[in-house]
Amino acid sequence: MGSETDRLIGSPSHPNVYEEVAVRSDRAPIVLSIWRAERSDATVVFLPGTMTHPLFYERFLDALARQDLTVVGVHFREHGKSPRLGRPFTFEDLVMDAACALSFASRRHPGPVAVFGSSLGGMVAMALAAADHRPAAVLAHDVLDPRLPGSVAITRYPDWTGALRDELSAAMRLATRLTPNLPVPMETYLDLDRVTRDPRSRREILTDPIGRTSYPLTFMASLFDADLTGMYDGSIWCPVVVIAATGDRLLPLEYERDLYERIVAPEKELLVFASDRHLLLNEGSAEVLSRIADAIRRHAVVPPLAATQGPPLARVK
């Protein structure tokens, strides 16, 4: 990752292949970070994890571009370099931002476009794939479905969160009517020690000048109730790759394997790495890069059946 100043002024490690553009997603302004491949086999729309932005993954995404894959990284609304207007937003808004980036990538870069999300971004990627038939493939690193019973295990207090899930969900929906922008700090619901034990990563998360440190209550309520049933009902028309690590302390392999088995897609693959890192793309980028790049080419470069014979494109709601 570049220095703090680099991330503020848009000058990552390889400015000759990097640019930033501002677009509008619905009525919200968002920023896209673009790493241009010299010879592009495909374009990858990258969706970052909780409270972060594409430049948090700069080292990995820059290397992905040097694997002949153009990358369009999404700064979700109210995240990263996208303007902070103080507006409440929801999980569905992030899916809309991803769809906007997909439209941009499809117009600007000829050839197949894959969608690749990490953690929260993996949820967004799967929701997008279920609602929009344009992706050539979807890759999800540590995907999560909040409605599955085992999902409460990732929270900081899984015992009482699981026991009071319905009551907590109802209380959050009610509270959003009164205090939609009430900040919910990350460490209120996530144990940072399970996210990373690497001192450098921890420091970057806590001191990132363009990272978020909390989410508005409106978003947390929408995330808790996010509907990802499209993963299981045949709505996805493209290949799906779920990426997991054997020793991930936040989203265990057993959970990822169970969710993977439930996914319904024309083609799917579980790509497992021998690692104990949750921040696999940051702390293990050199070890995972080539296999992930190969998976993108293997599943995305040949357009899926839906792209040529499917019904009209589904609409993202």
Q: Is the pLDDT of residue 51 over 80?
A: yes
Residue 315: inside a domain: no
Number of domains within the chain:
1
Is residue 176 in a domain?
A: yes
Residue 248 gets which letter from DSSP?
-
* pTM confidence score: 0.87
Q: What is the pLDDT of residue 4?
A: 41
Please write the tens of the pLDDT for every residue from 101-148. Answer: 999 999 999 899 999 999 999 999 999 999 999 999 999 999 999 888
Mean pLDDT of the chain: 86
Confidence (pLDDT) at 169: 64
Average of per-residue pLDDT across 46-69: 96
Residue 286 lies in a domain: yes
Per-residue exposure over 78-108, b if at least 16 CB sit within 10 Å of its own CB, e if not: bbbbbeeeeebbbbbbbbbbbbbbbbbbbee
The predicted-structure confidence for 246-302, as pLDDT tens digits, reads as follows 999 989 999 999 999 999 999 999 999 999 999 999 998 999 999 999 999 999 986
Mean pLDDT, residues 82-109 taken together: 96
- Residue 313 in domain: no
Any domain includes 308:
no
Closest C-alpha among 49, 5, 55, 50 to residue 35: 55
Tokens of 74: 């999404």
Q: What is the largest CA-CA distance in the chain?
A: 53
Q: Enumerate residues 6+ apart whose C-beta is below 8 A from 147.
A: 225, 226, 227, 228, 229
Q: What is the pLDDT of residues 7-42, one digit of tens each?
A: 443 455 555 689 999 999 988 999 999 999 988 999
Give the span between the Cα atoms of 240 and 11, in whole angstroms: 33
* 310 inside domain: no
Position 167 confidence tier, pLDDT thresholds 50, 70, 90: low
Please determine, for residue 152, whether its predicted confidence score (pLDDT) is greater than 70: no
- Asked if residue 242 is part of any domain, the answer here is yes
Q: Sheet holding 18-25: strands in order across? A: 18-25, 28-35, 69-75, 42-47, 113-118, 137-141, 240-245, 268-273
Residue 156 has pLDDT above 50, yes or no: no
Q: Which domain holds residue 288?
A: 4-303
pLDDT at 308: 43
For residue 237, the domain's CATH number is 3.40.50.1820
Query: Is 52 among the domain residues?
Result: yes
